[in-house]
């Protein structure tokens, strides 16, 4: 913002500064001449709507409005820091209010409480998985709505055709269903945090992804979004395991194994994979606990993928910039690694179509 605006040519997207009348390209967020915010009127309206939403108890709507406001101020400005602090505070408030079972643990005095209390955060996460079925039922609308997006539906059908050719239609359908549940986990977390994102897209041979149109305000939010996919993915793998145990149908065991392996791979703490986003929030001691869990899981299961996770996590613990610390992200990572590694011990049956 150190360059003068007066000398900038007025393009098709140019606007006039309401403060000094200078012609500004549409991409500028503040006038370099008088420092007035270009979208000041819109910001006031968003602030009023966010306050009204918060006053009526609709905190997620208020959070989404403040995120929109954050896009309309210069990233390094005082206003940006103030709005970012409000976003983080409101996000924490929503999480602490209980729209999340990982915050509220098992009721005191119950059998579950007596068994899980000594496990601390990991116990709370296990309590959360007790409600996987309830979670799927309450989010059934979200699971169905995702399939109404043409981009999602067409990419699923394309992937289905490819996987059907390789492994048969039943395994292809089960595998894609587990991948879809994983992606909807991300979508659910993004919606809860008021973060705009695209519908899930599937790429044959490479998996699926959801592209964020806004970014988490801090490492804690990034961990919530990143780990939500494997949490839901574990639920899908456990459901396939339960059907396999109940029916003895081999391909369900194959789906459970494949779903677990894919979700375990996503816990690799590198780049933008889910494990990297979860690890970003952890302090150095918490990271070493994750490393120890991966080492123990490898010793217990012999799953080769865990060696790769172990090396990457060890590097992040040793040389990576430590995060602020996040007990919930730590608990989720520990339980996910242990449970997914255990599911990877299921022997894969022959999957080719007859």
Same domain for 203 and 190:
yes
In angstroms, what is the C-alpha Rg of the chain? 23
* The pLDDT value given to residue 326: 94
Q: Both 138 and 16 in a single domain? A: no
**Where residue 215 falls among pLDDT bands split at 50, 70, 90?**
confident
237 near 157, Cβ under 8 Å? Answer: no
**Quick check: 277 pLDDT over 90?**
yes
Say yes or no: 17 and 54 in one domain: no
Same domain, 142 and 89: no
Which residues face 15 on adjacent strands?
24
**pLDDT at position 118 over 70:** no
pLDDT for 141 equals 59
For the chain, the average pLDDT equals 80
Say whether both 167 and 280 belong to one domain.
Answer: yes
Q: Is the pLDDT of residue 332 over 80?
A: yes
The Cβ of residue 162 has, within 10 Å, a number of other Cβ atoms equal to: 14
pLDDT at 124 over 70: no
Shortest CA distance to 103 belongs to which of 192, 233, 229?
A: 192
Q: Domain for residue 103, yes or no?
A: no
pTM, entire model: 0.77
| The predicted structure's pLDDT at residue 279 | 95
Structure tokens at 7: 């000398």
Structural domain of 210: 131-343
What pLDDT is attached to residue 73?
A: 86
Does 232 fall in a domain? yes
**Does any domain span residue 118?**
no
pLDDT of residue 36: 76
Task: Give yes or no for residue 103 having a pLDDT over 70.
Answer: no
Q: How many domains does the chain have?
A: 3
- Domain contains 107: no
Give me the mean pLDDT over the 169-191 stretch. Answer: 91
Same domain for 72 and 18, yes or no, is: no
Instruction: Assess if residue 282 is contained within a domain.
Output: yes
Judge if 188 and 305 occupy the same domain. yes
Residues 46 and 184 grouped into a single domain: no
Q: How far apart are CA 134 and CA 131, in angstroms?
A: 5
* Phi-psi category of residue 346: left, alpha or beta, with phi > 0 → left and psi -120 to 50 → alpha: beta
pLDDT computed for residue 146 by the predictor: 65
Cα 101 from Cα 128, distance rounded (Å): 6
| Same domain, yes or no: 174 and 306 | yes
Q: Are residues 84 and 18 in the same domain?
A: no
Higher pLDDT, 129 or 272: 272
Question: In residues, how long is the chain?
Answer: 354
Q: Does residue 191 lie in a domain region? A: yes
Do 144 and 79 lie in one domain? The reply is: no
6-15, 28-37, 241-250 — most confident range: 241-250
């Amino acid at each position: 913002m150190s360059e003068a605006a007066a000398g900038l040519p007025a393009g098709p997207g140019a606007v006039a500064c309401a403060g000094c009348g200078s012609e500004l390209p549409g991409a500028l967020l503040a006038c370099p001449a008088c420092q007035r915010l270009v979208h000041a009127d819109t910001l006031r309206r968003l602030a009023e709507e966010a306050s009204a939403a918060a006053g009526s108890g609709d905190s997620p709507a208020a959070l989404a409005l403040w995120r929109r406001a954050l896009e309309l101020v210069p990233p390094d400005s005082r206003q940006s820091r103030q709005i970012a602090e409000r976003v983080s505070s409101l996000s924490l408030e929503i999480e602490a209010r209980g729209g999340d079972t990982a915050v509220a643990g098992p009721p005191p005095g119950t059998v579950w409480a007596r068994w899980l209390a000594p496990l601390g955060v990991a116990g709370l996460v296990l309590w959360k998985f007790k409600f996987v079925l309830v979670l799927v039922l309450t989010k059934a609308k979200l699971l169905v709505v995702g399939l109404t997006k043409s981009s999602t539906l067409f990419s699923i059908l394309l992937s289905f055709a490819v996987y059907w050719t390789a492994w048969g239609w039943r395994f292809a359908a089960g595998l894609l269903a587990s991948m879809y549940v994983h992606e909807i986990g991300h979508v659910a977390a993004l919606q809860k945090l008021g973060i705009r994102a695209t519908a899930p897209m599937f790429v044959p041979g490479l998996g699926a992804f959801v592209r964020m149109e806004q970014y988490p305000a801090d490492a804690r939010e990034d961990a919530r979004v990143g780990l939500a996919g494997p949490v839901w993915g574990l639920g899908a793998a456990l459901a396939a395991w339960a059907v396999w145990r109940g029916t003895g149908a081999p391909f369900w065991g194959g789906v459970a194994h494949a779903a677990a392996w894919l979700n375990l791979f996503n816990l690799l703490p590198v780049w933008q994979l889910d494990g990297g986003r979860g690890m970003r929030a952890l302090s150095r001691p918490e990271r070493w606990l994750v490393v120890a869990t991966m080492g123990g899981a490898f010793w217990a299961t012999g799953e080769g993928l865990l060696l790769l996770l172990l090396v990457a996590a060890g590097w992040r613990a040793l040389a990576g910039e430590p995060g602020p610390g996040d007990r919930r992200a730590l608990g989720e990572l520990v339980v996910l690694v242990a449970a997914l590694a255990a599911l990877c011990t299921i022997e894969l049956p022959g999957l080719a179509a007859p």
